[in-house]
Amino acid sequence: MPTLTRRQFLSAAATTAGLGLPGCLPSGDDITLQGSGATFPAPLYKRWFLEYYRTHPEVRINYTPIGSGAGIRQFTAGLVGFGASDAGMSKKEIDKLPPDFDGVRLLPMTAGSIVLSYNLPGVASAVRLSRKAYLGILLREITDWDDAEIARCNPDTRLPAMPVTVITRADSSGTTYAFTNHLSAVGKAIGTPWTPGVDKSVRWPESIAAQGNDGVAALIQLTPGAVGYLEFGYAELAHLPTAALENKAGHYMTAGQESGLKALAGAKIPPDLQIKVPDPADPEAYPIVTYTWLLCRGRYPDAKVAETLKKVIAYGLDDGQKISADLGYIPLPADVVGKVRLALDTIRAEP
């Protein structure tokens, strides 16, 4: 089968195969798995599930991208068989899980870069933003594109004298969590505190909010002077320029597979697999990357559901990783794949 680009896939398959029933309910010889959550990995998950269906037509997997926060809530309420989050889950969220779940298995399935895309009419070259500049923009301490700090980063670019309009997420978003986690780390490093905090939803100093990564992309396209944060592949799909950002080593880096892998390299893998890389130190690393997790129960009441879900996830860890780069994501490092396989083996059916 020919390889599809992200754009070709999204044009050909806006939804996964089949219509699902709430909470992973089997029907006869067929089975439907239902999941919801993060918009960040949605194009990749939908591609995986479509490809799996083509070779296993008895298995239909529906995934609804509603944001990490909503996905966690639906997973906790038992409305879906699996959730997805770019923020993992906090201890407080895990403590709310029903006892019959036997906990949660947080499985990192892919990673991606969060970019700052912008709409600057008449500016052809890529804009460079120092750590001081992009933190200042988000704190609204820098409010115009021709600000001295932005100009200092772009000596050969004529920047327009127009206001900066910041675009943020309206929904409870793991992308927001990962982005604010990075901004907090940068603030500590340069001595400018990131006051809005780190969470899936924060009170931004001043912004226009949009729903989902695709909503942020659309609003940037419609707003001259806009800048907003979103997953790299969504920016590519919308043909939006992305800023070169100053990393911890002082180098200006653009998002891509190589700079993303540099950011992930050597990160400590905790027992719960919630790997966070808020400010990577590698000189060639793109500075804002995040893993994204599938949320699975430790125990399912139906053996067929449990075994089918495990097979689908195993596909994502194997053949699915070969698709990741085609859609703008970062394939998992080999040591992470090994840890996820071990965690996957602990998912079981009710005895």
Q: What is the pLDDT of residue 348?
A: 95
Q: Which two tokens stand for residue 9?
A: 């896939």
44: three-class secondary structure by DSSP: helix
Take residue 184 and report the two structure tokens written for it: 């907090």
Q: Tokens 């700079």 appear where?
A: 259
Residues of the chain with pLDDT under 70: 1-28
Q: Is 77 exposed, middle or buried (0-12, 13-18, 19+ CB in 10 A)?
A: exposed
Query: Looking at residue 24, what is its pLDDT?
Result: 47
Q: Would the pTM count as exceeding 0.85?
A: yes
- Name the residue type at position 176: T
Model pLDDT, residue 291: 97
Long-range contacts at 135-138 (CB < 8 A, ≥ 24 apart): 135/183, 135/186, 135/187, 135/190, 135/192, 135/194, 136/192, 137/164, 137/166, 137/227, 138/166, 138/183, 138/204, 138/205
Q: Give the tens place of pLDDT for each residue, 306-346.
A: 999 999 999 999 999 999 988 989 999 999 999 999 999 99
Task: Give the residue carrying structure tokens 């911890």.
Answer: 248
- Which residue matches tokens 């800023």? 243
pLDDT of residue 350: 81
Going 217 to 219 to 221 to 225, the CA torsion angle's sign is negative
SS3 264: helix
Is 125 buried (19+), middle (13-18) or exposed (0-12) by CB count in 10 A?
exposed
Any alpha helices (H) in the chain, and if so which ranges?
6-12, 42-55, 68-76, 91-95, 131-138, 148-153, 174-190, 212-222, 232-237, 257-264, 303-317, 319-324, 334-344
Give the model's pLDDT for residue 326: 87
H-only helix segments in 56-173: 68-76, 91-95, 131-138, 148-153
Domains in the chain, CATH or no CATH each: 6-110+290-349 (3.40.190.10), 113-264 (3.40.190.10)
Q: How far apart are the two ends of the chain, measured CA to CA in Å?
A: 40
Cα–Cα distances in Å, from 156 out to 147, 150, 152, 153, 227? 14, 11, 9, 9, 20
**Residue found by looking up tokens 């670019």 in the block:** 157
Q: For residue 322, how many other CB atoms are within 10 A of its CB?
A: 10
